[in-house]
Chain A
Amino acid sequence: MSESARSEIFAKLRTASRGGSAEAIDRERQCLQSAPAPMPPATEVCEAFLINVLKNRGSIDCAAGRGETVKAVAQYLYQYFRSHRLVAGNDPRLAAMPWRDAGVLPRFGGIETGEPVALSFAHLAVAETGAIVTYTGKANPAANNLLPEHQIVLVDRNDLVATQEQAWTRINQDMEKRGRPRGINFIAGPSSTADIEGQLVYGAHGPSSWHIILLGDTPADILARAHSAVT
């Protein structure tokens, strides 16, 4: 059935399509304008990213070095769970963190029932949308994005791009080097729904809290600036 359906559908599409060589079609595609990106909320890309994370109802923090990063994670865990445990993907960047210095006890692997917090390291992040990008795989199992109540995501300042187009340039380069990942996930905020009378509720199926920690050198007052731009 499927084979005859396939040829019938393609026959109809060929009649309806304009024809022309693959090169000609590609040339025509190249000539299309690109979509204008919206004006960023701040000129500095880190600030624009953090503002958009806040607009997406995420929470934000910054950490200059690895010591500060583990401390920031520990603080978050203690604040919400009075615990030092979390689950994290087998990402070498995460494995190399000095967790013991801050008393954090990560378990590396895929999330299991009952684990409330997962930690991910973003491949990249997009200032335009306040989104982080992860690839599914050992370093970041898909379920770690979706099943915890809280997701903490580390973003290296150097992996931050301004627009969605720039994000795709990076992703395409990664794919050329390492092949296509099964899933590419842009995440921009906690899971939400407005399906009951239009009232917005967080934690529909995925995390109800989404916490971003930006790593690297950033201006000292960047958190305050981002918060004041949103309130």
Chain B
Amino acid sequence: MEQRSNTFLDNASEALKNTGQAKRRDSMARLTPLLRSAAIEDAGDFESLRQQMKQVRQHSLDNLAHYLTQFEQEAVHNGNRMHFARDAEELNSIVLDICQQHDARRVVKGKSMVTEETGLNSFLQRAGLDVMETDLGEYIIQQAVETPSHIVTPALHKSAEEVRELFKDKHDLGPRALEDTTDMVAEARQVLREHFLKAEVGIIGANALIAENGYSMLVTNEGNGDLCANLPKTLIVCTTIDRILPRAEDATAMLRLLARSATGQSQTAYTSFYSGPSRDGDVDGPQETHIVLLDNARSEMLTGDYREMLECIRCGACLNHCPIFASVGGHAYGWVYPGPMGSVLTPLLTSLEQSNALPNACTSCGRCAEVCPADIPLPDLLRDLRHEETLEKLSPSRWRLGLKLHAWVSQQPWLYRALTATIIPLLHLMGRRRGSFTRLPFASGWTNERNFPAPQKKTFMQLYKAGMKKPNE
């Protein structure tokens, strides 16, 4: 997928012009936090749950070499073939090789952000394979030739009307009108059922890999991932090396938080654990199963300053609670992962140079960190990335000069106080009548969008000193 993260501001302005989408984002941004908080309340003690999950995730990452070795042994013992991919290209060619070895032409896919990251679909399609996304949201955007706008609900940006038009265009509907959402879902179900029954290869992601028994865990509501895992003769599980959990019951803490944080459900309809190919006496299931584990910068993240980001469980809560995401939507972020988690991940998985606009797409409001079930300090990580951006001189020189000047003045208290003691009363005097400014020299970036409030007469230090003197007067 072509990356457009560094034109974030332009992408954002463009996104705001589509008022229909902006309205829908607005109502989703009101609704999803309500659903989440009701579900979290029902979960009991959110803080202990997330601390427990954090401990387990940290312990797994601290001992990743050990648990990954154990997982590999168990998975091979269960009959899987294991593959390791250093980067996106390697994962794509491993998957293509497997498909070609089976002379496969038709592939069905469950939702997988990892394969979005590697651009697997277009790679397989270029090699002549018929690749069908089967998660309804992914199917919609695949038909519309678009990219996901949300990590959990990828077609969030589409209206029902747009989906109806799309299906009219792409499907042979005959006299069917697809009046409501139920009709549209039934239509997609019917079309995709054919694909499930004909496909030779199924590709799914994994929410976790269980080291003690070599199972991979898949969490969905639609059941499409399970159809991909059970109907085609060959199954390929694509995920990343950091998804490991020591034991099956360690998935419990994650499961108690994942769906509640993502959709406000207490859990999803399907939580499945798959160990490998069909056993003797089984009536269905794949004959051959492969697990492809992608690194793509995760091993570097493990030793770096942003390691906590590996604890992310991809619930999407930080997106749903982010005022920037709510305003501009996922496409403005210009790559696979949007919102706060995407603004941290994108620079780490691509480069800060290609995406330094993203860590700046943050108001530091802190809502993301408050709701993150993995307790990831997202605003801190974003701040650190901005700091790196300045050190690497990636931000515009005007900004850097301004920041330097500000830093220098702040370190000279006498000068800072003298300057503010001159400017503040002056601004107070000038803005007294209207209470705010519509234009100010050197501050057009602010006043172009909104008024600048006129300050109080005195500076904080003046008031503070006056307050200090009072008791002695």
Contacts and interface: CB of A to CB of B under 8 A. Distances in A.
Interface stretch (B1-9, B266-274, B360-368, B461-469): B266-274
B248 A168 contact: yes
B248 A182 contact: no
Contacts of A171: 248
A23 to B, nearest CB: 11
Contacts of A29: 59, 246-247
A92 interface: no
B43 A16 contact: no
A93 B252 CA distance: 29
Given A9-B299, A131-B267, A189-B269, A168 B252 contact: yes
Contact of A183 (B90, B135, B230, B248): B230
Interface in A139-187: 141-143, 145-147, 164-165, 168, 171-172, 175, 179-187
Give the interface centre of B28, B135, B275, B277 by most chain A CB atoms within 10 Å: B275
Given A2-B94, A197-B24, A17 B62 contact: yes
A42 to B, nearest CB: 14
* Contact size range, A: 35 or more
A182 B276 contact: yes
A192 B24 contact: no
Interface string A29-69: 10011111111000000000000100110000000000000
A6 B153 contact: no
B55 A32 contact: yes
A203 B255 contact: no
Nearest to A210: B269
A9 B295 contact: yes
B285 A183 contact: yes
A89 to B, nearest CB: 8
B256 A182 contact: no
B158 A196 contact: yes
Given A186-B272, A193-B221, A194-B153, A136 B285 contact: yes
A37 B44 contact: yes
Given A9-B299, A191-B221, A196 B64 contact: no
Nearest to A16: B302
Nearest to A171: B248
A17 B283 CA distance: 42
Interface in B279-337: 279, 281-285, 293, 295, 299-300, 302-303
Contacts of A194: 153, 221, 263
A193 B259 CA distance: 13
B430 interface: no
A29 B70 CA distance: 14
A205 B24 CA distance: 26
A5 B86 contact: yes
Most buried by A among B48, B65, B193, B196: B65
B37 interface: no
B44 A129 contact: no
B376 interface: no
A189 B59 CA distance: 33
**Which has the most chain B C-beta neighbours within 10 Å: A8, A143, A195?**
A195
A113 to B, nearest CB: 8
B173 interface: no
Interface string A209-224: 0000000000000000
Contacts of A36: 44-45, 48-49, 52
B336 to A, nearest CB: 18
Interface stretch (B178-186, B400-408, B415-423): B178-186
A191 B63 contact: no
A8 B65 CA distance: 12
Given A16-B302, A183-B230, A193-B136, A2 B83 contact: yes
A181 to B, nearest CB: 7
B31 to A, nearest CB: 7
Contacts of A104: none
A194 to B, nearest CB: 7
Given A17-B66, A142-B226, A195 B189 contact: no
Nearest to B155: A195
A162 to B, nearest CB: 13
